[in-house]
Every structure is written in C-alpha cells, then in structure tokens.
Amino acid sequence: MTYQTKPTSNGVYRIKVLNQDLVIESAPGYNPGLKLASPSPTSNKQKWTLTQLSGQSNVWTMVSVEDGYGITYKKTADTYWGYGYPYPQNVPSLNWSILERTSDGQTFSKIKLSGESNCFDSCDPGSDAVHFYYDHAHVYDGPKQCFVFELVPNVKPSAPLDIMFLQDATGSQQQYIDTARNGITQICNTLLSGGNFAPGDLRFGLIAFRDHPPQDLSFIIQEYPFTTDFGSVAANLGGLTATGGGDGPESQSDALSAAYKADWKDEATKVVVLITDSPPHGIGEDGDAFPKGCPLQIDPLRVATRMGRAGITLYVIACEPTLSQYYKRARDFYQGLVKKTGGKVLNLGDVSVLPTLIAGSALEAVNSEIYVAEYQAEVRSMATDQKMSASEISQRLHKNFVAAGIQHNTLVVDNMYEQRTQGDQNADIWFNAENLDEAKNNIQEVEGNRILEKYQTPGVEQSAAVVAQPISLAQVETVVQKCLMRES
C-alpha cells in the first residue's frame, strides 16, 4: 500500500495512523462512531470519499463509502473529557481541515473541524475509539493524531460479459454490417480497457434475421453461437449480405426469442444489441404482411419481459432517420420494449460511431449489473419491508452513491430526437402491456417528424464517447428497476 501525507485530489481514501498498522473505520452504531481497526482491502467501512471545498485548499468533506454517512460532530457532557467525537450520521459532512505537518523528521496530516483547534485522536490507552483532543506538538506525544492517506481505486471487479448481436440482414443494412465487422477490434479494445475483465471473459454471439416466407425465402434467422474468437465474429459478419426482406417489418421477434434462449453464462453480464431500421410484425404499421404478429406467434413484449427477469439487457440501435421517417410506431415501441429489460434505444445517424455505441452500451450494462448484484437484497427489503416506492428507493440510493463518489461508465451521444409527450405515453403503454394485442389499440399517433432537422439527412456527423462520470439518478433508477424485476 502506498500512503501519501495528505489527500491531493477528490477521491476515495483509507486514512491510516502514522507508524501504526491501524486505519479509521466507520462504526455508526458504536459510541463514539469512529474507531481504529486493522486494514481490510475489501471493507467499505474503511473507505472515505474526500471532496475538497472549492477555493479552500485544505478543507474537505468526509463521507463513508459504506453507507454515504457524512462525518459530523458530537459533544455532550459525557463525551471524551468534554472534547467530543467525530461522528458519522445520515447527513451531509461538516467541513474538515486536513493540515500537513512535519515533526521529528516525519510528515503527516492532522484532521480538525474547520475553524477549530482540536484533532482526531485515539490516544486513550486500551481504547480503539477515535475522539477529539488538543493538538500535540510532537509525533511521540500523539502518534494517533498523525495520519497518512492511501488513495483507493474506486473500481469494482466485473463479471464475464456476453454480447449477442441481433443484426438485421435485409436490403438496407449492408453499411451497418460492414461497419460492425470492421469495428470488432475497436469494440473489443474499448471493452477490455473499460470493463476490468480479461479477454477470455468476453464472448460475442450473432443472430442475423430477415423475414418469414413468402416475404423472404432465404432465412428467418441465422444463428452463430457465443465465442471468444473475435476473428470468427468478424468473419461471420463478413459472410452476411444485406438483401431481401419483403415488406417493411421483419423477423425481430424470432431473433429476440433465439437470443433469450442462447447459451448464456450464468454469471455473465448479458447484453443483447439489436441493430435495425424497421419494426417487428404486429405493432400496427401500415403495409405489414403479418398484421397479427409473428407467424410463429412469438410476442416480442413477452420475450422482453422474460429477458428482464433473466438479467438480459436489451439495447436497440435505431438506424436513423430511416426508422422514424418510414414507421409511425416503431420508435415508441422500441422505447417500451427495452425498458422491460433496463436497456435503451440508441440513435445511429452516423454509421462510423456504431462500434462506440455497441461498446458503450455494454459497459453501461456491466456497471449496472455490479450494483444490481450488490444492492438487490437491500432494494427488495426497502420495497417489501419498508413499503418504499421504486422512486423513493432510487432517490435514497442516488444520494448515497453521490456522497460516496460512485462513478458509472456512461455512453454520451448526440441527441437526434425530439421528445414528445404523446410519444412518451405510447412508450409507457408498450412497456406496461403484457402483449402486443393489449397495447396496440391504445397507441395514439404522434404527428410530424421527430428527428431533429440537422439529422434528417443520412450520414450527418454524430459524436459518441464512453466516459466515467458520477452516477446519475436515471442510472440508479435502472439499477432499482432491474433489482425489482429479477427472478430470485
């Protein structure tokens, strides 16, 4: 472990006593509330999010990573010799001065309530309690007033990652197939650099789809199983030729069903990426040769519900402006469909950003699944025992995550789409419906082109990047939704 004499940037730290193998640990149910303990690399009780106050070089807030509690101050007639205790509570942190000192040839820091003179201290013989005491001038007088800091990488290990591509292989899709094939190396490099897992933990599968006869006589779906051989994935994509398809809607429902049944690793983060510029059959589009839905009676809403329960996250990469210009219901349908799994619809207007959209969606899912695994029991307890709503749970967790400095991989991409209230209502109807018949007669058409004018011409430059940034409320809401929908 590498220790520094003072914190130098916002981050998560362990705080160790100078010359002793003891660190400050949160113990909110213990009076006084902080104690010294042997270092534990996995204990969040020994990790503190330190955030520097703007314009004040030595003043910081201190928040426990374990529970988001801020460090405050407790003083009563019974507290340590009248000096009191630093105390973790479910409130924002007070401001703390962390002041570097050099004494007896050693450099360290004292921790004081901002504007006060008393220090964090644990000099009482036989006690592990951290309290306040007056500032000793020398190291030998008060070694437990003298602290050093270890910056802790705020990285959680990732599970293996399985990604299943559902690639539309009908006539308009050749440029997307070619870009995905040529971008496999970029996708893999992005995932391996941002996902904290080894190459052997990353698998890709592929399901190409066209349509049912007589609309297309070549194939309905064509399956390629999961593999860690990235070259074979590129070769499988390279073997696809975009052709056929017949009417507008295609066999997405069949591809989704096959993806749900694929040979997923139980412990893997499971991601499905559907790339298309058309809807499935049966959602109420004009010119649908199978207006009652998939000829094999596969209902995509039912499949998405099963995916969500099984921990499979669906992302739809909508090839725009085609999808929204040619189909009046497709966009809202896909918004409701992915929500059943905790996924997203991603707008693709510039084919060059396709590899970034694929990798970014997967990395978002990886982070989300880490927090689902860690907080599922707590979320379900808050929902059942405390009768809290999903919104209330999300608000509480988000507050704690922000206080703890939690970062989340986030796909940042240009918005191409104008939100409409009726469109949002339609998406909710699809999301809440059990099947297509229940939903499609309640959908209200949205007038006008919802693609922003700049992006109504294909090929307009679009930016996309994956960045680590503070976890958003929307991302916490996704975590909570996944926790509540999952099978036990």
Q: What is the pLDDT of residue 329?
A: 94
**Residues 169 and 57 grouped into a single domain:** no
Higher pLDDT, 180 or 308: 308
**Lookup: tokens for 379:** 């979320």
Both 261 and 360 in one domain: the answer is yes
Identify which of 438, 445, 80 has the alpha carbon closest to the alpha carbon of residue 286. Answer: 445
Average pLDDT over residues 312-341: 94
Residue 488 has pLDDT above 90, yes or no: no
Asked whether residue 1 is domain-assigned, the answer is no
Asked whether residue 2 is domain-assigned, the answer is no
Q: What is the pLDDT of residue 400?
A: 85
Sign of CA dihedral 196, 199, 203, 204: positive
Output the six-digit token pair for 404: 């703890």
**Do 364 and 458 sit in the same domain of this protein?**
yes
Residue-level pLDDT at 405? 77
Order of strands across the sheet that contains 312-319:
221-227, 202-209, 161-168, 269-276, 312-319, 345-348
* 3-state SS assignment for residue 133: strand
Instruction: Kindly state the average pLDDT of the residues 350-377.
Output: 91
Look at residue 79 and tell me whether its pLDDT is greater than 80: no
Q: What is the pLDDT of residue 78?
A: 61
Interatomic CA distance for residues 464 and 271, integer angstroms: 19
C-alpha span between 76 and 322 (Å, rounded): 69
What is the per-residue pLDDT for 143? 78
Answer yes or no: are the C-beta atoms of 408 and 473 closer than 8 Å. no
CA 68 to chain centre: 19
Residue at 455 is within a domain: yes
Phi-psi region of 408 (alpha: psi -120 to 50; beta: other; left: phi over 0): beta
pLDDT of residue 199: 73
pLDDT grade, residue 81 (50/70/90)? Answer: low
pLDDT (average), residues 315-332? 92
> What pLDDT is attached to residue 83?
79
CATH number, position 114:
2.80.10.50
Judge whether 5 lies within some domain. no
Task: Report, as an integer, the average pLDDT of 104-124.
Answer: 88
φ, ψ for residue 276, nearest 5 deg:
-160, 160
| Angle CA 421–422–426, to nearest 5 | 120
Phi-psi region of 369 (alpha: psi -120 to 50; beta: other; left: phi over 0): alpha
pTM to 2 decimals?
0.70
| Last-in-domain residue among 85, 118, 151 | 151
Assess if residue 129 is contained within a domain. Answer: yes
What is the per-residue pLDDT across 58-72, written as a single tens digit (0 to 9) for each? 999 998 887 778 898
Angstrom CA distances, 158 to 269, 370, 376, stand at 8, 7, 16
Work out how many domains the chain is built from and give that number: 2
256: domain range?
161-397+406-485
Are 189 and 128 within one domain? Answer: no
pLDDT tens-digit readout, 86-106: 888 878 889 999 999 998 889
Co-location of 219 and 241 in the same domain: yes
Q: What is the mean pLDDT of the chain?
A: 89
**pLDDT digits over 267-279, tens only?**
999 999 999 999 9
| Positions of E strands within 118-180 | 119-121, 131-133, 147-151, 161-168
Answer for the pair 344, 338: CB distance below 8 angstroms, yes or no: yes
**pLDDT score, position 137:** 79
Cα distances (angstroms) measured from residue 294 to each of 211, 289, 439: 9, 10, 16
Residue 109 has pLDDT above 90, yes or no: yes
- Are both 98 and 181 inside the same structural domain? no
CB atoms within 10 A of CB 215: 21
**pLDDT tops 90 at residue 266:** yes
CATH classification at residue 432: 3.40.50.410
Whether omega for the bond prior to residue 214 falls within 30 degrees of 0, making it cis, is yes
Q: How far, in Å, CA of 312 to CA of 164, rounded?
A: 10
Task: Decide: 285 and 319 in contact? Cβ < 8 Å.
Answer: no
CA 379 to chain centre: 16
Pair 435, 382: CB distance under 8 Å: no
What is the predicted pLDDT for the residue at 154? 57
The pair phi, psi for residue 223, each rounded to 5°, is -105, 140
Residue 380 vs residues 269, 313, 373, 386: alpha-carbon distances, Å: 20, 20, 12, 9
For residue 212, is pLDDT > 70?
yes
What pLDDT was estimated at residue 419? 86
Helix (H) or strand (E) holding 71, with range, is strand 70-74
pLDDT band at 180 (very low <50, low <70, confident <90, very high): confident
Residue by residue, DSSP assigns 312-375 as EEEEEEEETTHHHHH-SSHHHHHHHHHHTTT--EEEESSGGGHHHHHHHHHHHHHHHHHHHHHH
260, 172: one domain? yes
Tracing tokens 């100078």 back to the chain, one arrives at 18
Residue 478 φ/ψ region, left for φ over 0, alpha for ψ in the -120 to 50 degree band, beta for the rest: alpha
pLDDT tens profile 375-431: 999 999 999 988 999 999 999 999 888 877 788 889 999 888 888 999 999 999 999
Structure token digits, residue 218: 């070549």
pLDDT recorded at residue 185: 80
pLDDT value at residue 156: 56
Region 354-374 average pLDDT: 92
Contact 486, 380 (CB under 8 A): no
Mean pLDDT for the stretch of residues 429-446: 94
pLDDT at 153 over 60: yes
Residues 360 and 445 in one domain: yes
The single-letter code of the amino acid at 115 is: G
What value does the mean pLDDT take over residues 333-359? 94
Same domain, 193 and 291: yes
Whether residues 139 and 186 share a domain: the answer is no
- Residue that finishes a domain, picked among 151, 181, 205: 151
Q: Which of 99, 124, 151 is the last residue of a domain?
A: 151
Q: Quick one: pLDDT band at residue 157, thresholds 50, 70, 90? A: low
Share of residues in the chain with pLDDT > 70 (%): 94
Q: Which residue has the higher pLDDT, 10 or 430?
A: 430
Give mean pLDDT, residues 187-212: 84
Write the pLDDT tens digit of every residue in 134-147. Answer: 888 777 767 789 99
Confidence bin at 149 (pLDDT 50/70/90): very high
